[in-house]
Amino acid sequence: MKGKRIVVTGATTGIGRITALELAKLGAELVIIARDGAKAEALLPELKAAGAPAAHAHLADLSLMSSVRAVAAEINAKYDRIDVLVNNAGAIFGPRIETAEGHERTFALNHLSYFLLTHLLLDRLKAAGKARIVNVSSDAHRPARVDFDNLELKTGYGGFKAYCLSKLMNLLFTYELARRLEGSGVTVNAAHPGPVASGFGSSSSGLMRFGIALVRPFFLTPAQGARTSIWLASSPAVEGVSGKYFAKRKEKQPSKRALDVETQKRLWAETERIVGLAG
């Protein structure tokens, strides 16, 4: 990965942190996007010590599309190309809360930010000649179903339900994007990290937080959970591979709903409209 520039979101904790550090060990230049400035600044010397020739931090609250736009503008102004984009930032929340922009925050952080940030950085990815996009999804997508009349779960909300739905949306986005990027030199794949004992669930509350605490001892370590993302970002084995879902560094079949082309296309159109890219 020497000579490669990699953007990682949510890089200060959990699998995002391990992903950034391991890619630094391979000699990549790291550009991290984080919400917490102190944590981001503390990580930079660690990345350089691990082997990154350079490491940079950009701050953003990725649940706000205005912040996504601002950080994308910073990155586009500073760098001439991006070799890899790892969309890793995500969370599970307890109660239904809307962001200042009026979106359910799981939907905003876990889906809208992937979609908008990728679009805004696409020219820099294409400028690399051959580039990769890695979307961190989850097998939690399997029970989810997209209801286009209730995308943000204004009715029937549940914290875990919203999380599962957002992970299905990550896959739907990955497949549609792969189709649209054919022939561009940019590939996109999705990763299932597995249940990871990181900061996951720390934003939840009540019974959900209690339940996550009970099963946490059986979770994977962040290092184990990050392996597939690191592999997709760096391995020659997936050079040119696009539009696939991987777990434990092997291709995995998602749910039938994730493979529904009409749902992929419709979600794309609806998301374009929501983030203001349509037309």
β-pairing, 29-34 with 55-59?
A: parallel
Among the options 114, 163, 175, 245, which is catalytic? 163
- Quote the radius of gyration of the chain (alpha carbons, Å): 17
| pLDDT score of 210 | 44
> Which residues of the chain register pLDDT less than 70?
194-223, 225, 279
Contact 104, 96 (CB under 8 A): yes
CA distances from 145 to 141, 152, 248 (A): 9, 12, 25
Question: What's the burial of 24, exposed, middle or buried (CB within 10 Å: 0-12/13-18/19+)?
Answer: buried
Q: How many domains does the chain have?
A: 1
Query: Is 175 annotated as catalytic?
Result: no
Element at 190 (helix H, strand E)? strand 186-192
CATH number for the domain that contains residue 144: 3.40.50.720
pTM of the entire predicted model? 0.90
Cβ-proximal residues to 111 (8 Å cutoff; 6+ apart), any chain: 166, 169, 170, 173, 271
Domain residues for the domain of 44 are: 5-275
pLDDT at residue 175 in the model: 98
